[in-house]
Amino acid sequence: MPDDFANNSRLAWLDLSGNSFQGHLPFSLGNLKQLSYLLLSWNKITGPIPNSLFNLTQLTLLDLSHNRFDGQISSSRVSLEKLDSLKLSFNDFSGKIPNSLFNLTQLTLLDLSHNRFDGQISSSRVSLEKLDSLKLSFNDFSGKIPNSLFNLTQLTLLDLSNNRLIGLPSQINRLSGLNNLDLSDNQLIGPIPSQISRLSFLRNLDLSHNLLNGTIPSSLFSMPALRFLSLHKNHFSGRISPFLSNSLHYIDFSHNKLYGQIPPSVFELGNLTALMLSSNDKLTGNISSVICKLKFLQVLDLSNNSFSGFIPQCLGNFSDNLLVLNLGVNNFQGNIPSVYSEGNSLRYLSFNGNQLKGVIPPSVINCVNLEFLDLGNNMIVDTFPSFLEKLPELEVIILRSNKLHGSLKGPTADDSFSKLKLFDLSNNNLSGLLPTDLMKPVEINPNDEWINMAMAGISPQILMKSAYRSVMFFIGQRELEMQYKMNRIVAQCRQKCESMQEKFTEKLEQLHTAYQKMAKRCQMMEQEIESLSKDKQELQEKFSEKARQKRKLDEMYDQLRSEYESNKRSAIQPANNFFSRNDPDLFSNPAATMMDNRDPIRKDWTVVTPSTPGPREDIWAARQNSSNSGPFEISGGSPAKQAGMPVDVGNRRTGAVPSFRAGSGNPSMTLRNLILSPIKRTQLSRSRPQMFT
């Protein structure tokens, strides 16, 4: 995220939400001292929140939700005196909530849901006198709900769901202005405190998925504003009390231990959209046709109880809003409701596990949105309902354990049963050949334990190709009278089918929850992959830039190396010195000396070189006898050792012919000895100062 915004010190509103910003928040955002609104939600920002952000004293709204922030929120002092709304939901924060967040006196909304906060909710003094909404759901909080929360008298929404909280304090009635209370998916135990009914403004109450027990307080049914009441999956027992208020829209008492009859007052709730009383086992009695007065009903689930009598025929067409009708696993008798109006919204229809007779009504084809049809385990006498192929959304057909007879007819259209996932006709009286068009051909393992069978008139391979859409076929046997002859059916097949049937609704709920979690995880992984790809691209660009810089440095190094070698050669062989000037080289051509070129008188003198025959010991003797004053003496040894230097030590360029002592050799020999001698030049210059001028 660029930090250029920090250069505008007068910026008051910054909204970058709904983008794909990555990386950490720049610390320089703390320089925006006039900033009032900062919205960065729905991005991919990572890392902790910089402390500089908590020093923006003019900030009133801070929204960092739906990002990838992590780590702990700093416990240092927070100077957000004017902050009104703080949204940090859907991130990866962890640790405990710092007490500093509970001291923001102007705060009205605090949303920390969908993170990984843990530990106990702070029980210290909470100075959030103006707080209106507190959302701490989907974290890992544990322990009791602190009493300090019940001092927030302005609170209208309290969501602590999906944690590990225990206990339901009776002080909850102190939140007199509460509209929404969600404590679902915790570990609350004990009865519901009767004081909760004093919340006269409460509209939504969700206590599902807990360990609450006892009877359901009758006072709940007289709360004037209550619309949503969910006590699903607890341990409540006893009878359902009459409803004294008609404000309820949603009732879910399923998966408890309630018994007795449904009070008639339930059917007087004219605004009711959902009535779910499934899996209480001991709810009994008849279902009155008065239920058809609930014109807004969308979900009616009375399954897995002990209801009896006849199913009201009006249930098929009393409401165009009905989505789910589940009366399965009861003791109903009579016929299936025969009339289903056109344009209805029905998606789930189950009368499984009753004692219904008659035929499958053709008007079912009016349920064009139907996805799940379960009429199994009844006493239906009919042929296979071929008209079901006209239902385009149908995924599950369960007609097992009835008295269906006759043969199966193939579909009349190519797209028939195109979404079918489960097809169960087992334990019926069907006969004839199995139509190959009923199954879509694909490859499948012939040893699959679910459908390893051989049938008359059709090869096992074609039958096994039914797994194209995870379709499972169960076509049972009727001893030898049937033309369907199964050689082998795995024993566990039926057990699996029955278990799946009993838990189908529950499994659907679990799968849906798992799918949502997986979809969220996949979305986060896709975002992570995208982030890593961009990081990789940035690294590649940086690597290319560094490679270019390296090549330039290599070129500069080669150039400097070349200049260095050139300067080194120039220093070793200077252009104007004694050894490099144009005078003849004394060593490479000893026959021509400097004296020969500079003094024509000496051209006839003999040149002594290292190759000249004769004794050479005089050189070392000259070195031994040299001194810092007086004429240069050579003595001892061969005649050459008796040679002396010229008597005249004056200027040799005056024209006088120098004289030498007896035994002296050619002056060139003396010059060469001087050159080769290690005697210091400064010492020679005192005895013969003008010798080389």
- What are the tens digits of pLDDT across the range 472-494? 444 443 332 222 323 333 334 44
* pLDDT tens figures, 520-569: 777 778 777 877 888 788 888 888 888 889 898 999 999 998 888 888 88
pLDDT band at 250; cut points 50, 70, 90 = very high
Phi, psi of 532 (to 5 degrees): -65, -35
How high does pLDDT run on average in the chain? 78
pLDDT band at 447; cut points 50, 70, 90 = very low
- Of 113-117, 139-143, 682-686, minimum mean pLDDT range: 682-686
Question: Is the confidence at residue 92, as pLDDT, over 70?
Answer: yes
Name the 3-class secondary structure at 213. Answer: strand
Percentages helix, strand, coil for the chain, rounded to the nearest 5? 30, 20, 55
Name the 3-class secondary structure at 299. Answer: strand
CB atoms within 10 A of CB 194: 13
pLDDT band at 401; cut points 50, 70, 90 = very high
- Of 17-31, 433-447, 482-496, minimum mean pLDDT range: 482-496
pLDDT band at 381; cut points 50, 70, 90 = very high
Our CA dihedral for 659, 662, 666, 668, rounded to 10 degrees, sits at: -70
d(CA 106, CA 539): 45
Question: Is the confidence at residue 403, as pLDDT, over 70?
Answer: yes
pLDDT band at 685; cut points 50, 70, 90 = very low
* pLDDT tens figures, 640-656: 444 444 444 444 444 44
- Of 23-37, 499-513, 642-656, minimum mean pLDDT range: 642-656
Per-residue burial over 417-456, b = 16 or more CB atoms within 10 Å of its CB, e = otherwise? beebebbbbbbbebeeebeeebbeeeebeeeeebbbbebe
Mean pLDDT of 381-389: 92
* pLDDT tens figures, 257-297: 999 999 999 999 999 999 999 999 789 999 999 999 999 99
- Of 67-71, 229-233, 571-575, minimum mean pLDDT range: 571-575
Mean pLDDT of 32-46: 94
d(CA 307, CA 360): 22
DSSP letter for 653, please: G
Q: What was the pLDDT predicted at 610?
A: 53
Domain parsing of the chain, residue ranges: 594-687
Phi, psi of 556 (to 5 degrees): -65, -40
pLDDT band at 667; cut points 50, 70, 90 = low
Q: Residue 37 class from Cβ within 10 Å (0-12 exposed, 13-18 middle, 19+ buried)?
A: middle
Q: Residue 107 class from Cβ within 10 Å (0-12 exposed, 13-18 middle, 19+ buried)?
A: buried
**Residue 210 in tokens:** 């807990």
Contact 627, 607 (CB under 8 A): no
